[in-house]
Chain A
Amino acid sequence: MEHKTSLKRTGLYVSGTNPVNMIQASFYNEDCMIFDMEDSVPLAEKDAARLLIYRMLRDHRPVGKYIIIRVNGIYSEYIDEDLEAAVRAKPDAIRIPKVEYENEVKMIDEKITRIEKEAGIEEGSIELWCNIESYLGVLNAYEIASASPRVVALALGAEDFTASMKAQRTKSGQEIFYARNAVLMACRKAGVEAIDAVFSDINDVEGLKADTALTKNLGFDGKTIVHPRQIDVVNSFFTPSVKEIKYAQRVLEAVEEGKRLKKGAVTLDGGMIDKPMELRALTTLAQARAAGIKV
């Protein structure tokens, strides 16, 4: 699909209750827009939000963004109507809150498949992002990530996770350090993307920088954000340096050279280049291009 971007550095939540913010958010630099039907929408406005998000995506789908709709909880009274509207709005992905078991993913998958069929949408075209927001979700992360080919990403939700752990949420994030790593490892094993939790103090830029540095260094592919002011800070951490870009280019050149010469194993600076190195190089260049760097 032409409107997709390959990057997931920033995923901005946009409440389905606010049409002006929904329009404005499409002009910012975030990679992913997450139209929200869940927490940001008061109970009395669930139906209005559902309709607004549907019409927004059908009539004014933002260009150049990866579009996600976060529906209400799997066991909530809203989930079926949310999925009916969300699938028909044809986002790139649907984000499911608080996934804890593999069979929950399968259940949602079946519902989406049925709606896709009814609506004449290509089956399997809508991807799934699963929010991991409890210790059960963390413990079952790999099973969740590999429960359906639709699942392309797991996103850690720190607030609910710490509540489930009876832990205190802190800015330094030590209480979610294990969960971050566990989710990351599950994602890497399942071959899906790993999205880190929000940093919720929108006025603390230095705190956001420190938190995002950890996000990046641990290996996450991106971060969920709650305010447009956080976009450029988070994106900047996922923007590669000149040194990284040059190295990535050399890796890919070596791979190309190997292919041309029909070599089985390709080396660079005396070390062997394996598939993950090639993938990392491709990601680095994609990140550079998304940041406006000519590569």
Chain B
Amino acid sequence: MVNAVGREMPEKIGSYTVRPFAGTGKAAKILPPVVSKRCPKLGPEDHNKLCKDLKEAIVKTGLKDGMTISFHHCFREGDMVIGQVLTAIRELGIKHLRFAPSAVVNIKNPSIVSFVKDGTIDRIEASGIRGELGDAVIDGLMDEPVILRPHGARPRAIETGDLQIDVAFIGASSSDEYGNCTGQIGPNACGSLGYAFVDASCAAQVVIVTDNLVEYPCCPTSISQQFVDYVVAVEQIGDPVKIGAGAARMTKNPRDLMIASKAADAIAASRLFKEGFSFQTGAGAISIACTNYLAERMEERGIHASFALGGMTANIIEMFKKGLVRVLECSQSFDAVAARAIAEYPNILEIDNSVYSNPYTKGSMLDKLNFGVLGALEVDTDFNINILTGMSGEMMGGLGGGPDVADGADISIVTIPVIRGRTPSIVPKVFTCCTPGESVAMVVTEAGIALNPKHKYYEMLREDFEAAGIATVTIQYLCDLALSYTGVPKPIETTDKVVAVVEYRDGTVIDVIRQIKR
């Protein structure tokens, strides 16, 4: 069958039943049945949650073959929880688990691939996979397709029962022995634990893994003892350098600076750029630079934002300190400065990922967002975005919150260079469609800005740009320009085997990724 963005896909992939993407906002109108609520459950009778090691905790949770385990990704590339837990599970001989972290994990030692090969894991559901695992999956490592969901889709899937978690392992940089825990303090602080909240409240069993056991009660507390079954102290939960030491730094790449500056100009030209506006800029090199340029435009015009949303970086904390932003709604902290800030300022809030991005709530923060700045690997002439696969079809990234932000924000801005090295970034058709073009307001490149004529605010933006003297080009012009330099790449050949399913935020399937023919 063919979905609303013209992608062909089977109706059933392994045990996965496909609901085709029907357009933004189309599927969300059907309220799913409530099938998953955390059941009342008593804690240990002796009130002792503290286990001597991971194996004891795993045994106590009753984890068995075929169950589902989850992790959060707030330690990013510095995560040392997943490897330790999977190793303990392997040593206990538990097999055929569904592995469901909140986002991309690229841990190398031990490698996730080894847990797939020995049968510890046989299904993966995440926001993206890359590195060795990505290569192995795209080469057909697994029998069941990997299910990739953007941030907003994961809490939806958990709450609707698409993804029922048996045991959630939650790394916390500090915890007391009764399970009150946080990511804000401790030697391996990661900041917001926003992505773990839904796991804590919905998983049948919750295990806190920490390397900093503190006196009861742990303060500040992000996840409360009421959700926690067991606590394990290990030697180390993360590598602070890879978690994000110091402040994320401003790029010096002139091309990226130029794109960032143009994106800030585009925001400043919009009539929505006014006192009390809101924004989300993200953590990529262009995004951080764009945040800085945006701060300059705000100071020049005397405009203040009501809130900034999503992953926080040091430069957004700086804007907050200057009084340029009233509230920071922080689902993730991308560097050490942002990680510390939640504990320091009452108006910097640690928010649940569901509150941030889930389209199936009574109101997510994205619904109130004016501007969202996104990155991409490829954009096509229909403004569809690929943030997963590279030009050889390899898995390169994760969906993150991109599809959610594009849909939720009034004005979604994709920042992307026209070409990267010898690879075109603006193409006739993206290899993998992750975000539907209809939700993308504009594409900002070093060679010009293309407005999407099919976006809901096209006319408004066109008028605003004209008034501000900002010239635009067509997306076709950018595509032709890119291809004039690089030539037309040979199409990637695939087999019929679907190795990954790309879900949209409403749970429908926007695209599938097939095995690459070698």
Stretch at the interface among A23-31, A109-117, A166-174: A23-31
- Bits for A21-61, please: 1 = Cβ < 8 Å to B, else 0: 00110011000000000000000000000000000000010
> How many Å lie between the Cα of A231 and that of B418 in the bound state?
20
For window 10-30 of A, CB contacts with B under 8 Å fall at 20, 23-24, 27-28
Taking a contact as CB atoms under 8 Å apart, the answer to whether B255 and A229 are in contact is no
- Residue B126 lies at the interface, judged by CB distance under 8 Å to chain A: no
Is there contact, CB below 8 Å, between A23 and B419? Answer: yes
Contacts of B419 in A (CB 8 A): 20, 23
Residues on the A chain within 8 Å of B447, using CB: 27
Q: Are A294 and B484 also in contact (CB < 8 A) when A24-B255, A28-B258 are?
A: no
Cα separation A27 to B446 with both chains bound (whole Å) = 6
Say whether A219 faces chain B, with CB atoms less than 8 Å apart. Answer: no
A60, B485: Cβ atoms under 8 Å? yes
Question: Shortest distance in angstroms between B293's beta carbon and chain A's nearest beta carbon?
Answer: 12
In the bound assembly, the distance between CA atoms of A60 and B487 in angstroms comes to: 12
Which one of A20, A228, A231, A292 lies within 8 Å of B421 (CB-CB)? Answer: A20
A227 to B254, CA, bound (A): 9
B137 within 8 A of A: no
List residues of chain A with CB within 8 A of the CB of B257.
Answer: 229
For chain B, which range describes its interface: under 10, 10 to 19, 20 to 34, or 35 or more residues?
10 to 19
* Residues A23 and B485 in contact, CB atoms below 8 Å apart: yes
Q: Is the CB of A27 within 8 A of B485?
A: no
User: Taking CB as reference atom, which chain B residue is nearest A20?
Assistant: B421
Most buried by A among B254, B255, B446: B254
Contacting B at CB under 8 A, from A186-238, are 227-229, 231
Please indicate the chain A residues that have their CB under 8 angstroms from the CB of B258 in the complex. 27-28, 228
| Those of B424-471 within 8 Å (CB) of chain A | 446-447, 469
Residues of B within 8 A of A231 (CB): 254
Chain B 42-79, CB-CB to A under 8 Å as 1, else 0, gives 00000000000000000000000000000000000000
User: For residue B446, which residues in chain A have a CB less than 8 angstroms away from its CB?
Assistant: 24, 27-28
Is B252 part of the contact surface with A, judged by Cβ < 8 Å? yes
A228 and B446 CA atoms in complex are apart in Å by: 13
Most buried by B among A23, A227, A231: A23
In the assembled complex, the CB of A218 is this many whole angstroms from the nearest CB of chain B, namely 27
- For A20, what are the chain B residues with a Cβ–Cβ distance below 8 Å? 419, 421-422
Complex-state Cα separation, A229 to B447, whole angstroms: 17
A292 to B469 CA separation, bound complex (whole angstroms)? 9
Q: How far is the CB of B447 from chain A (nearest CB, A)?
A: 5
Q: Kindly name the residue among A20, A27, A227, A229 whose own CB sees the greatest number of chain B CB atoms within 10 A.
A: A27
Q: Contact flags (1/0) for B463-486 with A, using CB distance below 8 Å?
A: 000000100000000000000110
**What B residues does A27 contact at CB under 8 A?**
255, 258, 418, 446-447
Q: How far is the CA of A292 from the CA of B422 in the complex (A)?
A: 31
A23 to B419, CA, bound (A): 9
Q: Does the CB pair B421–A229 fall under 8 Å?
A: no
Smallest Cβ-Cβ distance to A230: which chain B residue: B254
- Report yes or no: A28 in contact with B469, Cβ–Cβ below 8 A: no
- A28 to B485 alpha-carbon distance, docked (Å): 17
A294 to chain B, nearest CB (A): 7
Q: How far is the CA of A231 from the CA of B447 in the complex (A)?
A: 16
Please name all residues of chain A whose beta carbon is closer than 8 Å to the beta carbon of B485 when the two chains form the complex. Answer: 23, 60
* A228–B469 CB distance below 8 A: no
Distance in angstroms from A233 CB to nearest chain B CB is 12
- Kindly supply a per-residue 1/0 record for chain B positions 84-120, scoring 1 wherever the CB is within 8 Å of any chain A CB and 0 otherwise: 0000000000000000000000000000000000000
Could you tell me the distance in whole angstroms from the C-beta of A293 to the nearest C-beta in chain B?
10
Complex-state Cα separation, A60 to B418, whole angstroms: 15
Candidates B254, B418, B422, B484; contact of A228 at CB < 8 Å: B254
- Asked if B254 and A60 sit within 8 Å, CB to CB, the answer is no
CB distance from A53 to the nearest CB of B (A): 15
Q: Is the CB of B469 within 8 A of A229?
A: no
Say whether B254 contacts A229, CB under 8 Å. yes
With A and B bound together, what is the CA distance between A27 and B258 in angstroms? Answer: 9
Q: Which of A268-286 contact B (CB under 8 A)?
A: none
Q: How far is the CA of A27 from the CA of B418 in the complex (A)?
A: 10
Candidates A23, A60, A294; contact of B469 at CB < 8 Å: A294
Residues of B248-272 whose CB lies within 8 A of A: 252, 254-255, 257-258
B484 and A60 within 8 A (CB): yes
Q: How far is the CA of A216 from the CA of B12 in the complex (A)?
A: 69
Q: State A294–B469 Cα separation when bound (angstroms).
A: 9
CB-nearest residue of chain A to B261: A232
A226 to chain B, nearest CB (A): 12
A-contacting residues of B (Cβ < 8 Å)? 252, 254-255, 257-258, 418-419, 421-422, 446-447, 469, 484-485
Can you give 20 A-B contacts (C-beta < 8 A)?
A20-B419, A20-B422, A23-B419, A24-B255, A24-B446, A27-B255, A27-B418, A27-B446, A27-B447, A28-B254, A28-B258, A28-B446, A60-B484, A60-B485, A228-B254, A228-B255, A228-B258, A229-B254, A292-B469, A294-B469
The 10 tightest CB contacts between A and B, nearest first, are A228-B254, A27-B446, A24-B255, A27-B447, A229-B254, A23-B485, A20-B421, A60-B485, A28-B258, A28-B254
